[in-house]
Chain A
């Protein structure tokens, strides 16, 4: 870039060009939806099958999946950050939307446990709708917006049915609210990378 005296119109043009350049940078987010979708569906299926056999071990799937998913997310995030030359404001917002969701879930789960109750699966489904919906809106990606709304609708329905039906609603919410939008997002990201 040559050093020269700028006129006001050249300054404005330079600003617009540079802002446009920065907007072209993006991060891959589909990995998280695909990975968490698969893990959480697997945990619910395991939980469901164990419950049908009156086995108490089904509930252990959740902490195992939580730790495994957390570790994989951390490893993937660290690798992406290392390779990435720029972090956008949206990247930071997404990180804190999901970190806020995780903190809320943990506090409610621990609080419910301490007060002798248990956080219902319906509440978990409803709560998961919030970060999914916000992510969709931030990225302007409609499948995730619909995914978030689907979590709310199926979560509301889950308050009125028995546990077996709740499990099926949970799997449906994960399948169409996480996995399918995650797959569509991956296709979009792959297209942008090769463009």
Chain B
């Protein structure tokens, strides 16, 4: 049985964590993602940019108390990719159990 290849954009610990957080909320700011993923600011920023470039998340940059505030939400493309990814890993796990 041939398995669908795992989406390389999502098959990364931090990017998968970001998308998993965003899938269950409407939007979240940079500090929320930082706190929940325990990533470094630099790495988080790089991975958000990667997800944005792939069209998986939308990013809005505003100001909050005179500081830049980045707010992210999952795009329809990102949601579809996440669902496909979850389905693929379930198939992998299902075959491993059999």
Seen from chain A, the residues whose Cβ lies within 8 Å of a Cβ on chain B are: 1-4, 6, 8-9, 11-12, 14-15, 17-19, 21-23, 25, 82, 85-89, 91-92
Contact = CB atoms under 8 A, between A and B. Distances in A.
Contacts of A23: 24
B93 A12 contact: yes
B2 to A, nearest CB: 16
Contact of B26 (A11, A85, A87): A87
Contacts of A4: 13
A22 B38 contact: no
A8 B25 contact: no
Contacts of A3: 12-14, 43
B59 to A, nearest CB: 15
Contacts of A14: 13, 16-17, 20
Contacts of A8: 6, 89, 92-93, 96
A1 B13 contact: yes
B25 A89 contact: yes
20 contacts: A1-B14, A1-B38, A1-B39, A6-B13, A8-B89, A8-B92, A11-B16, A14-B13, A14-B16, A14-B17, A18-B21, A19-B20, A19-B24, A22-B20, A22-B25, A22-B28, A85-B31, A85-B35, A86-B25, A89-B25
Interface of B: 6, 11-14, 16-17, 20-21, 23-29, 31-32, 35-39, 43, 64-65, 85-86, 89-90, 92-93, 96
A11 B87 CA distance: 12
A89 B74 CA distance: 12
Contacts of A22: 20-21, 24-25, 28, 36
Contacts of B90: 12
Contacts of A85: 28-29, 31-32, 35
